[in-house]
């Protein structure tokens, strides 16, 4: 009997087989969950369709989180197919690439709005649509964040501000949704080489620094994030909400 036997999970943020959301999907499948995936854009669709099929996913739904109508439609499909939902995974971030280099002082109004919209507001929009479907006693919403939302890292720039907003949204959503039996938590992952980390200036240096200085003296991998997601989605974490749970080899506890 898996930890998530019969639970219905809607997963946002699989782009390819390196995505953190993909590792979460595989772990959920192993624990007995039923899966629905969303994808954004045709190039992503080509990569996500075979992955979703390989896990026997029941639903594959297009959804750009900038678009309220697409979000509403995605949850309508889930409602019509499953009649309800137990788990929502939000594993989405985006800022225009020019914002992720150079001085933070040069952050543009447009770049700020885009980063905050896609990377932080989208959690609120998805949670609002998920809520009426989470009528059981233990709904679980999980998002992915990074330590750059709490401390300054080179080039992370406006994404750091977006992650700070995302982490505070987790706390406000936890307070707002707790009375309805819905838990909301974030996993703060250490640096992992995914599409979202590819071509990011200084990524290798930061990953090298973690491997040298973190208590575990190594970087983490997608599977380790997925393990924490299984725990947070399962009844083992039924008393846990509003948390930012680090899966980062302990890097965040080190001062000097
Ligand atoms: P990824 O590129 O595989 O995932 C990012 C996802 O965001 C993609 O699936 C992409 O399609 C989706 N996305 C972007 N804009 C979207 C939009 N408008 N509508 C819908 N989806 C959209 O990379 P990842 O590393 O797996 O990132 C997933 C999450 O993990 C992000 O929130 C990221 O900030 C976070 N995170 C990543 C790391 C890391 O080092 N890779 C560390 C900590 C946290
Ligand atoms: C991203 C930028 C700068 C430094 C970074 C990162 N470090 C890490 C990341 C040190 C670990 C990856 N990360 C945690 C993210 O949240 C990435 C978000 C992201 C990445 C891109 C790249 C391509 C693009 N826009 C993006 N928007 C958000 O055009």
* 146 carries an active-site annotation: yes
- pLDDT value at 249 more than 80: yes
* 121 carries an active-site annotation: no
Is there a domain that residue 185 lies in?
A: yes
Across the range 174-179, mean pLDDT stands at 98
| Cα distances (Å, whole numbers) of residue 46 to 15, 36, 91, 147 | 9, 16, 19, 31
Tens digit of pLDDT for each residue in 98-154?
Answer: 999 999 999 999 999 999 999 999 999 999 999 999 998 789 999 999 999 999 999
| Torsion (CA) 237, 247, 159, 122 in degrees, nearest 10 | -20
Is there a domain that residue 139 lies in?
A: yes
Task: Ligand 1 pocket test: pick from 10, 20, 120, 123 the residue with the most ligand atoms within 8 Å of its Cβ.
Answer: 20
Intra-chain end-to-end CA distance of the chain, in Å:
44
- Which protein residue's CA is at the shortest distance from atom 27 of ligand 2? 94
Looking up residue 18, the CATH number of its domain turns out to be 3.40.50.720
Residue 231 near ligand 2, beta carbon < 6 Å: no
pLDDT at residue number 136: 81
- Which protein residue's CA is at the shortest distance from atom 41 of ligand 1? 192
Is there a domain that residue 196 lies in?
A: yes
pLDDT at residue number 232: 98
Across the range 82-87, mean pLDDT stands at 97
Tens digit of pLDDT for each residue in 208-224?
Answer: 999 999 999 999 999 99
Domain that residue 68 falls in:
8-249
pLDDT at residue number 196: 96
Across the range 181-197, mean pLDDT stands at 98
Ligand 2 centroid vs 201 CA: distance in angstroms?
9
Across the range 13-17, mean pLDDT stands at 97
Is there a domain that residue 109 lies in?
A: yes
pLDDT at residue number 159: 98
Is there a domain that residue 2 lies in?
A: no
Looking at every residue in the chain, the average pLDDT score rounds to 97
pTM over 0.95: yes
Is there a domain that residue 254 lies in?
A: no
pLDDT at residue number 204: 93
- pLDDT value at 10 more than 80: yes
Tens digit of pLDDT for each residue in 36-69?
Answer: 999 999 888 999 999 999 999 989 999 999 999 9
Inter-residue contact 210 to 219 (CB < 8 Å): yes
The number of folded domains in the chain is 1
Across the range 154-181, mean pLDDT stands at 98
Is there a domain that residue 126 lies in?
A: yes
pLDDT at residue number 200: 87
Alpha helices in the chain (DSSP H): 20-30, 42-54, 68-82, 109-116, 122-130, 157-177, 203-213, 222-233
Rounded percentage of the chain residues whose pLDDT exceeds 70? 100
Residue 247 near ligand 1, beta carbon < 6 Å: no
pLDDT tier at 201, thresholds 50, 70, 90: confident
Q: What ligand has the least distance to the C-alpha of 102?
A: 2
Task: Ligand 1 pocket test: pick from 47, 196, 211, 223 the residue with the most ligand atoms within 8 Å of its Cβ.
Answer: 196
Is there a domain that residue 256 lies in?
A: no
Please provide residue 104's backbone torsions phi and psi, each rounded to the nearest 5 degrees: -60, -30
- How far is Cα 2 from Cα 5, in angstroms, rounded to an integer? 5
């Amino acid at each position: 009997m898996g930890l998530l036997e019969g639970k219905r999970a809607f997963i946002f943020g699989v782009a390819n087989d390196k995505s953190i959301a993909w590792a979460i999907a595989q772990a959920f499948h192993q624990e007995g969950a039923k899966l629905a995936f969303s994808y954004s854009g045709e190039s992503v669709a080509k990569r996500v369709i075979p992955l979703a099929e390989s896990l026997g996913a029941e639903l594959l739904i297009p959804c750009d989180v900038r678009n309220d109508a697409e979000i509403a439609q995605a949850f309508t499909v889930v409602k019509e197919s499953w009649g309800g939902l137990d788990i929502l995974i939000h594993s989405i971030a985006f800022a225009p690439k020019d914002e992720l280099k150079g001085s933070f002082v040069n952050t543009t109004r447009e770049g700020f709005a885009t980063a905050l919209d896609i990377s932080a507001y989208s959690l609120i929009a998805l949670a609002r649509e998920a809520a009426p479907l989470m009528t059981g006693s233990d709904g679980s919403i999980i998002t992915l964040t990074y330590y750059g939302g709490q401390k300054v890292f080179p080039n992370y720039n406006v994404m750091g501000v977006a992650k700070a907003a995302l982490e505070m949204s987790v706390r406000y959503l936890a307070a707002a949704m707790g009375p309805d039996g819905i838990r909301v938590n974030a996993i703060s992952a250490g640096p992992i080489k995914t599409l979202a980390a590819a071509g990011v200036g200084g990524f290798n240096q930061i990953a090298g620094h973690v491997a040298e200085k973190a208590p575990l003296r190594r970087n983490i991998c997608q599977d380790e994030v997925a393990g924490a997601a299984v725990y947070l989605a399962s009844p083992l974490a039924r008393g846990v909400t509003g948390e930012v749970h680090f899966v980062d080899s302990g890097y965040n506890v080190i001062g000097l």
